[in-house]
Amino acid sequence: MIEERGNAAVIWQQGPRHKFYEDRYRLLCRPISLVELAERGEIFAVCDGVGSAPRGRDAAQEVCDVLVKFYKNAAELSPTAETLISLLDQANSLIHAWGFIEGTDRSQGACAATIVWITDNLMANVFHVGDTAALLIRNGTAQALTSTHHDAAGHLVNYFGRSSLQIEIKSVQLDIGDRLLLLSDGISKSLYNQRIAAIVESHSRRSASLEALLSAARTAGSGDDITAVLVDLEES
């Protein structure tokens, strides 16, 4: 399914091996009156519920939902990165409070997430946990804005729902003409970054770029849920 809003578009599809679609996303951009009235930039997010966690998709939804408070409670919350970190910490505390799977130390709820807040001066503030991803595509070249929080065995070691959450934070100055791509691991584990950039750049419409990206990931063997958000930095 594809949704377009303002200068952004998202594509999502349940993985063929999955009983439920575990990913979630947010497009908090200016065609939404709440975002326009707050005058504090735009937020885009991709969250990926951990499949082995019984409440993985609930965790992904919780992280997406807490981002709305940045605009809804604008009168009480300052428009800063520290505010967003505090909101994300609140979401993590709630998810962690759901407890553990009986007889194990595995969380009931767990998710990875990549959130990008773009301010009016085109500064991209990236908040990242887990194995979702953000790419900056500039002049056809892909630059990774996130790392993967796995151990040597490939197990996720940093995620929402963990008692000691560590949010990876990065700020990047954007230019008009740049493109930002947020991905769940249904794509990022199937295609290397420059291949992703080449696919996106080979189409003039955002929706066509995302359709081609999804198709390429499936052809490469991805059986996971797929979510991709593409944002174009435009003059308007």
Q: How confident is the model at residue 17 (pLDDT cuts 50, 70, 90)?
A: confident
What gap in Å lies between CA 49 and CA 184, rounded to an integer? 10
Give pLDDT tens digits for 186-225. 999 999 999 999 999 999 899 999 999 999 999 999 999 9
Average pLDDT of span 5-28: 95
In terms of Cβ atoms closer than 10 Å to its own Cβ (0-12, 13-18, 19+), residue 14 is middle
What's the confidence (pLDDT) of residue 11? 98
pLDDT of the residue at 106 = 85
Residue 148 has pLDDT above 90, yes or no: yes
Q: Is the pLDDT confidence value at 162 over 70?
A: yes
Compute the average pLDDT of residues 69-89.
98
> What is the residue-averaged pLDDT of the chain?
96
Is residue 226 within 8 A of residue 184, CB to CB? The reply is yes
pLDDT band at 95, cuts 50/70/90?
Answer: very high
For the stretch 111-146, pLDDT in tens is 999 999 999 999 999 999 999 999 999 999 999 999
Specify the 3-state DSSP secondary structure of 177. Answer: coil
Which range among 18-22, 23-27, 161-165 has the greatest average pLDDT? 23-27
pLDDT of residue 154: 84
Mean pLDDT of the 163-188 span: 96
Query: Which residues are paired to 160 by β-bridges?
Result: 111
* pLDDT confidence of residue 236: 62
Domains, in order of start, for the chain = 2-232 (3.60.40.10)
What would the DSSP string read from start to end of 184-220? -HHHHTTS-HHHHHHHHHT-SSHHHHHHHHHHHHHHT
Name beta bridge partners: 127: 115, 169
Are the C-beta atoms of 138 and 66 separated by less than 8 Å?
no
Nearest to 21 by CA among 132, 186, 152, 157: 186
pLDDT digits (tens, 9 = 90+) for 41-77: 999 999 999 988 999 999 999 999 999 999 999 999 9
pLDDT at 116: 98
pLDDT tier at 159, thresholds 50, 70, 90: very high
How far lies 178's CA from each of 81, 136, 184, in Å?
22, 7, 20
Integer Cα distance of 101 and 158 in angstroms: 18
Q: What is the pTM of this model?
A: 0.97
Helices 56-72 & 81-97 angle (0-180, nearest 10): 150
Terminal Cα-to-Cα distance of the chain (whole angstroms):
26
Does 171 score more than 90 pLDDT?
Answer: yes
Q: Is there a contact between 207 and 9 (Cβ–Cβ < 8 Å)?
A: yes
pLDDT at 149: 95
Q: What percent of the chain has pLDDT over 70?
A: 100
Q: Decide: 182 and 117 in contact? Cβ < 8 Å.
A: no
Compute CA distances 88 → 47, 63, 125, 188, 203, whole Å.
Answer: 12, 7, 14, 23, 35
55 C-beta neighbours (distance < 10 Å), count: 21
